[in-house]
Amino acid sequence: MYCSIPDDKIFQTTPPWTKTSNFKLKSWTETVQGYLNEAKNLTTCLIRNRELAKRPYTLFLTIYVDVTMQPKAINDWWKKAARNLQRKGVVAIWVREPTRTNRVHYHLLLRSIHTKEQLATIIEESLPSRKSGRWHKNIKAVRMKDGRLLRYITKAKTAGETKSGIYLSDLYRRKRLLFKSGLGIRKHGTIGKFWTKSKEAIWEDVKAREKRIAEGLEQPNVKRLAQHAYDFVGGYVPLRQIERNFGYYSDSPGIQNWIEQVFGHENRASPNIAT
């Protein structure tokens, strides 16, 4: 089942950045650009799913498999583990990553409610025995503002500082490894009823929301009002966040009345002077 000396790597050492296509690249394995698009899509759906659930995710679990496996063994090992986790009441999304040592690990983001101690027990009872292959785990609580964690799980492109304080425009570039195509290894999946509704339906919601925001920002003075509000709060709230909120609610009475108060005089015609 296990292979101590792998015949070949399960990840790509030099994946192509992009390829010519008439369509948006989407594959997790064909190109880096396709991976980035998939990661952005999944991250956005995770954020929207959290909003629809009206509560944050609960725990973040990483399972490190400490032995090298062939693709079929990777799938079989995880199918058994995921089935047992579901029986124990775990509800989560999992994302599988290759490592530079030609092994795999799994990031799990949970919706189900457990203490760290309860989850640790569930993991020990659910995963295959270490006698058939070593593994270890790490469990962390999820903070309310988990946007960076979600991007870490998917390895989506995001700017930020490393632990040593170095700013990078693509924080997870070196950690982002692509599985080789054709191995039959899924990139991600779910345990239990993780999505509040289907991922496809959530993505349609996201597209509709983005369309509404874009159209709202095209309405007269909405962007100007966002800049006015940004200046008023002294930059305390990011301008992009204000613009998105104002674009989404551009036709609300509150936004329209505020536009009238701030810019209304500019839209009124000057009175005619009789000669």
Containing structural domain, residue 102: 32-195
DSSP conformation class of 129: P
Instruction: Give me the pLDDT at residue 267, please.
Output: 52
Segment 19-43 shows an average pLDDT of 94
- Whether 122 and 257 map to the same domain: the answer is no
Q: How far is CA 254 from the centre of its chain?
A: 32
The total domain count for the chain is: 2
Q: Does residue 25 lie within any of the structural domains?
A: no
Q: Which of 195, 216, 244 is the last residue of a domain?
A: 195
Q: Does residue 19 lie within any of the structural domains?
A: no
161 Cβ contact list (under 8 Å, min separation 6): 167, 168, 171
Segment 63-88 shows an average pLDDT of 96
- Whether 41 and 111 map to the same domain: the answer is yes
- Whether 137 and 259 map to the same domain: the answer is no
Segment 170-192 shows an average pLDDT of 96
Segment 16-42 shows an average pLDDT of 94
Q: Which of 178, 195, 212 is the last residue of a domain?
A: 195
- Whether 183 and 120 map to the same domain: the answer is yes
Does the pLDDT at position 1 exceed 50? no
Does the pLDDT at position 117 exceed 60? yes
- Whether 74 and 137 map to the same domain: the answer is yes
- Whether 49 and 173 map to the same domain: the answer is yes
Query: To the nearest whole percent, how much of the chain has pLDDT over 90?
Result: 83
Q: Does residue 273 lie within any of the structural domains?
A: no
Q: Does residue 8 lie within any of the structural domains?
A: no
- Whether 169 and 137 map to the same domain: the answer is yes
Q: Does residue 70 lie within any of the structural domains?
A: yes
Tokens matching residue 93:
């999304």
Residue with tokens 């492109």: 157
Exposed / middle / buried, residue 86 (Cβ in 10 Å: 0-12, 13-18, 19+)? middle
Cα–Cα distance list, 145 to 37, 65, 244 (Å): 23, 29, 18
109 Cβ contact list (under 8 Å, min separation 6): 46, 57, 60, 92, 93, 142, 149, 150, 153
Banded model confidence at residue 138, pLDDT cuts 50, 70, 90:
very high
- Whether 43 and 112 map to the same domain: the answer is yes
- Whether 244 and 170 map to the same domain: the answer is no
Query: To the nearest whole percent, how much of the chain has pLDDT over 70?
Result: 93
- For residues 4 and 133, is the Cβ–Cβ distance under 8 A? no
Q: Which residues of 210-246 are buried (b: 16+ CB within 10 A; e: fewer)?
A: eeebeebbebebbbebbebbbeeeeeeeeeeebbbbb
- For residues 63 and 127, is the Cβ–Cβ distance under 8 A? yes
- For residues 120 and 137, is the Cβ–Cβ distance under 8 A? yes
Alpha-carbon distance 32 to 71, whole Å? 21
- For residues 142 and 60, is the Cβ–Cβ distance under 8 A? yes
What global pTM score does this model have?
0.85
- Whether 181 and 211 map to the same domain: the answer is no
Q: What is the mean pLDDT of the chain?
A: 91
Banded model confidence at residue 265, pLDDT cuts 50, 70, 90:
low
Does the pLDDT at position 2 exceed 80? no
Instruction: Give me the pLDDT at residue 108, please.
Output: 98
- For residues 27 and 35, is the Cβ–Cβ distance under 8 A? yes
Instruction: Give me the pLDDT at residue 147, please.
Output: 82
- Whether 50 and 151 map to the same domain: the answer is yes
* 141-166 confidence digits (pLDDT tens): 998 667 889 999 999 999 999 888 99
Q: Does residue 13 lie within any of the structural domains?
A: no
Does the pLDDT at position 242 exceed 80? yes
Q: Does residue 2 lie within any of the structural domains?
A: no
